[in-house]
Structure 1
């Protein structure tokens, strides 16, 4: 799991922070969405995404690492690990990252703490988005390779080009006549 950051930690010590993150991740996998403070949600995101990455592997050692990270011998956490490996990991199989989404929802009424909803992104990856990204990448790589060809064209004057100049002078004469009449 990611090492805790130095300095202030959630709940005091590093071991307490690990317990908080383990419980939050278990609740996230069980309910698919939880409401917590913004700080806890930001700390939870890499922890939960790493557990999902282990679950995508699907082998026995990964299952044991996730079980150890959630760190409780209760039956509910075993069911959470089963839920993660059986339902969540297959839904995330095509996704290369970004398994969670954090949405800020305002401040808590009691202590004015900024709150957020962290949820699992269970929507399938759109193949259209992948194709568009590949096309954009191809155009950016091919554009510098090809030098644009600029052709010089000669400007040929025609008698029709003189006609608009004479037409422009005619309205000026009319405005002078209108001034004399006034």
Structure 2
């Protein structure tokens, strides 16, 4: 079965890779929440390719929640996104902007490596 942490059932993660981003789980979650909040606020941000790929899943999830528009989905988004105003703007704007689109709300554009450590960089933007 696996190890139970007391909160929910855990099975073995065969083939389920999670990008670690060289951080413990709480810091990784906070980083991805912050990046998601900033992308939804500004529409386009520059970050490392690994972070951009990891956060794409969460941005798409937030936009899918906003397309539904129910109170329950709004509260789920409020629990993930740091700024309340961004959630309200997201739920107001998304249904007409992404109504006909079934996914793929973000685009990752590769750019030059970072000067200090040569880390591969990318822009991630909302389509």
- The reply to whether TM is greater than 0.5 is yes
Give the total of aligned pairs.
Answer: 112
Matched, 1:80 2:91: no
- Residue 90 of structure 1: CA displacement? 2.6
Which structure has the higher relative contact order (CA within 8 Å, separation 6+)?
Answer: 2
CA separation in 2, counterparts of 1:89 and 1:15?
31
Q: What's the CA shift string for 1:85-110, capped at 9, x where partnerless?
A: 11134301111110000000110111
In structure 1, the partner of 2:109 is 103
SS at 1:104 equivalent: strand
In structure 2, what is the Cα distance between the partners aligned to 1:58 and 1:15?
A: 28
Which has the larger share of helix?
A: 1
- Determine if the alignment matches structure 1 residue 65 to structure 2 residue 71: no
> Hey, what does 2:7 align to over in structure 1?
none
Gaps of 5+ in 2: 1-15
Deviates more, 1:33-42 or 1:84-93: 84-93
Matched, 1:27 2:59: no
CA–CA distance in 1 between the matches of 2:80 and 2:52? 17
2:57 to 38, 46, 49: 46
Instruction: Give RMSD over aligned pairs.
Output: 1.6
Provide TM-score, normalisation by structure 2.
0.82
Give unpaired runs (5+ residues) of structure 1.
Answer: 122-182
Question: Higher Cα Rg: structure 1 or 2?
Answer: 1
Partner Cα separation in structure 2 for residue 61 and residue 103 of structure 1: 33
